Amino acid sequence: MSQFTIKYPIVSRYLTTPSKRRSGKIIPKVVFIVAHDTGNPNSTAKGNVSYYENSRDEMSASAHLFVDDKEIIECVPALTGTPEKAWHVFYNVTTDNQLYGVNANDAAIGVEYCYGSKINADEAYKRYVWVIAFICWKFNLDPQKAITGHCFLDPTRKTDPVTGLMQSRRTYEQLLRDVVAEYAECAGEQSLNTVTVVPPKTGKVKATVKLNIRSGSPSTRAAVVNVVPPGTVIDYTDVVQGDAVNGNTTWYKDTNGNFFWSGGVVAL
């Protein structure tokens, strides 16, 4: 495996185990990443981890990493030790199973973004993007497919990380683009898309993100006629070349003659 540029230290401050928040159960195989935010403006990485430790036997909610403008702290082992399970998405949510074939808590690393007026958004965001890219590299995950947001898995209850990112003037789509670029930079690869997979001319794909369906042409400037949630299965009738998004120029044409970008879907 290639090298990955370590831009920031990862501080391990593990929660006491066994406890409600840290069971010590091992993740058999890391399959994806769930992007979260703390939902608590101006709470810091250090503050959140201290709170988790102090209330470790009162509640089971947990996550692996907290990121603010100064630190990346790992409180349940993921990058700095054998990955253990953390409790960051309700088990009764089914979207994770539909998208990745497994419950998030059993197979995903949960990363929490700290935000707020007292947290330098640019510095926190840089660290957040980098650590997500590093998780992709460490567990051999495709950064274009292996990242989802809590709000996409549990849309009736959650708005993170979109809310936190918004307060840092970023969108979720921006985060995904930046993680892909960071991965390419830190792994020393020009772009993942230099490996071009030519999909069959017709078939079915499944959206992995909130996907824009555009009319007229395979272009990010074409009008959005529909937005479908992650997990939506779409029939396509053609594969075409269009505007580059993250260096990927492949788009699909759906049965209505509209277009959507290939980076937002997985083949079925």
Rule CB under 5 A: which residues touch Zn ion?
36, 150, 160
Closest distance of CB 229 from Zn ion, Å: 17
By C-beta, is 48 or 193 nearer to Zn ion?
48
Integer angstrom CA distances of residue 2 from 127, 137, 144: 21, 9, 19
Q: Beta partners for 248?
A: 245
The minimum distance between CB 52 and Zn ion, in angstroms, equals 14
Output 61 or 181, the one with its CB closest to Zn ion.
Answer: 61
Say how far apart CA 132 and CA 125 lie, in whole Å.
11
CB of 97 to Zn ion, least distance (A): 17
In this structure, what are the phi and psi dihedrals at residue 34, rounded to the nearest 5 degrees? -110, 120
Q: Which is closer to Zn ion, CB of 88 or CB of 127? A: 88
**Least distance to Zn ion, CB of residue 198, Å:** 37
Q: How far is the CB of 21 from Zn ion (least distance, A)?
A: 14
Q: In the bound complex, what is the minimum distance in angstroms from residue 262's beta carbon to Zn ion? A: 28
* Nearest distance in Å: CB 219, Zn ion: 33
Task: For residue 202, report the phi and psi dihedrals to the nearest 5 degrees.
Answer: -135, 160
Of 109, 79, 104, 77, nearest to 93 by C-alpha is 104
CB contact burial 149-158 (16+ within 10 A = b; e otherwise) = bbbbbbeeeb
Strands 211-214 and 224-228, sheet pairing:
antiparallel
Comparison of 39 and 199: residue with beta carbon closer to Zn ion: 39
Closest distance of CB 151 from Zn ion, Å: 8
Of residues 89 and 213, the one with the C-beta less far from Zn ion:
89
Whose Cβ is closer to Zn ion: residue 89's or residue 141's? Answer: 89
Residue 162 or 180: the one with the smaller Cβ distance to Zn ion is: 162
* Cβ proximity to Zn ion, 68 vs 160, nearer residue: 160
